[in-house]
Amino acid sequence: MDYRYLGRSGLKITEITYGNWLTHGSQVENDVATACVRAALDAGITTFDTADTYANGKAEEVLGAALASERRESLEIFTKVYWPVGLKGPNDTGLSRKHIMEGINGSLRRLNMDYVDLYQAHRFDYETPLEETISAFADVVRAGKALYIGVSEWNAEQLRRGQLLAREAGFALVSNQPQYSALWRVIEPEVIPAAKELGMSQVVWSPMAQGVLSGKYLPGQPAPAGSRATDEHGGANTIKAYLDDSILTNVQKLRPIADELSLSMPQLAIAWVLQNENVATALVGASRPEQVAENVAASGVKIPAELMAAIDEALAPSIVNDPAKTLSPATRVA
């Protein structure tokens, strides 16, 4: 497992991060979730990503319990704040000082940890002054409850404004967590250039485009039993935009490229995002322990330029790269 620096910081993280969105505390039993975490550790992953809103706090609890026996200093733990949690009252969402302070305390309690390595703004909050948000994050860092601060799905202008205020407050934003894959490239025109300028790197989620780049969804065929597309607890909604026969047909054109590299289709998808030097790590999840070992094999893979071009050509009609699609919700969603 290779390590990369997180932004312009001294923190090293595994270039594949284990994330527990849509799995722990909701879609899989706790013993299976724990087995997946153990498989990640066995494979060399030391970086783990979660959020307070995942399964309304249960995902943090499951992750904390699964890691309880590990040396805390040997792990890099990421969590997030913004979306509604708890009873979902008027102050249980957003990036107000109140919600950030209560959010970090709740996350640490559920994780059963004294601090997290990276605390992330899960979205941009248009309803709270950015100065208030950054000031609160600065106090979280000074209190030792988070070592670094990052954001998620912020556009280029928001990154620049946030970084300016952060530096004035005595710290720096080190990362952005966007959706990014060979199909979804909306961060390439504006966000990545801004991040490079600001000393931030990307912690990318959905490198397999909700599983479509795994190649298991075939045009004209029903979704495989037990796949995300058949999950009624949220998974089906996240993938439905990709289940278009034209997209699925283009994805199948990647199979010979994966074969040439002796990679599986999931490994090719993960390796593709890691070719971008501004990507510090790719988030991967798992519903079975054996999936973790397969994903980790993408670490350290170098895809030749001619095959990167071939991937572009195969997917070209289906690629989304409009920077306007890098959006946080205009108002808080309760």
Could you tell me which residue, 237 or 156, shows the higher pLDDT? 156
Residue 242's pLDDT band (cuts 50, 70, 90): confident
* pLDDT given for residue 15 in this prediction: 97
Residue 103 corresponds to which tokens in the numbers above? 């959010």
Catalytic site residue from 3, 5, 18, 54: 54
100-125 pLDDT, tens digit each: 999 999 999 999 999 999 999 999 99
With 80 as the cut, is the pLDDT of residue 26 above it?
Answer: no
pLDDT above 50 (res 24): no
pTM metric for this prediction: 0.93
Q: List domains and CATH numbers for the chain.
A: 3-325 (3.20.20.100)
pLDDT of residue 110: 97
Rounded Cα gap, residues 257 and 303, in angstroms: 10
Mean pLDDT of 280-300: 93
Asked which of 107-111, 113-117, 221-225, 297-301 is least confident by mean pLDDT, the reply is 221-225
Say yes or no to pLDDT of 161 above 70: yes
φ and ψ at residue 297, rounded to 5 degrees: -65, -10
- pLDDT range class, residue 23, cuts 50, 70, 90: low
For 302-318, how does the pLDDT look when each residue is reduced to its tens digit (9 = 90+)? 999 999 999 999 999 99
In whole angstroms, what is the distance from residue 26 CA to residue 20 CA?
Answer: 10
| Ranges of H-type helices in the chain | 30-42, 58-66, 97-111, 130-142, 156-168, 191-198, 235-239, 245-252, 255-260, 265-274, 289-296, 305-315
Band the pLDDT of 229: cuts 50, 70, 90: low
One-letter-per-residue 3-state SS of 278-313: CEEEEEECCCCHHHHHHHHCCCCCCCCHHHHHHHHH
**The predicted structure's pLDDT at residue 117:** 98
In this prediction, residue 101 carries a pLDDT of 98
* Encoded amino acid at 56, one letter: N
- Compute the distance between CA of residue 41 and CA of residue 6 in angstroms, rounded to an integer: 20
pLDDT value of residue 235: 60
180 is catalytic: no
Q: Are 131 and 100 in contact (CB under 8 A)?
A: no
Average pLDDT over every residue of 262-284: 97
Contact between 175 and 149 under an 8 Å Cβ cutoff? The reply is: no
pLDDT at residue 262 greater than cutoff 90:
yes
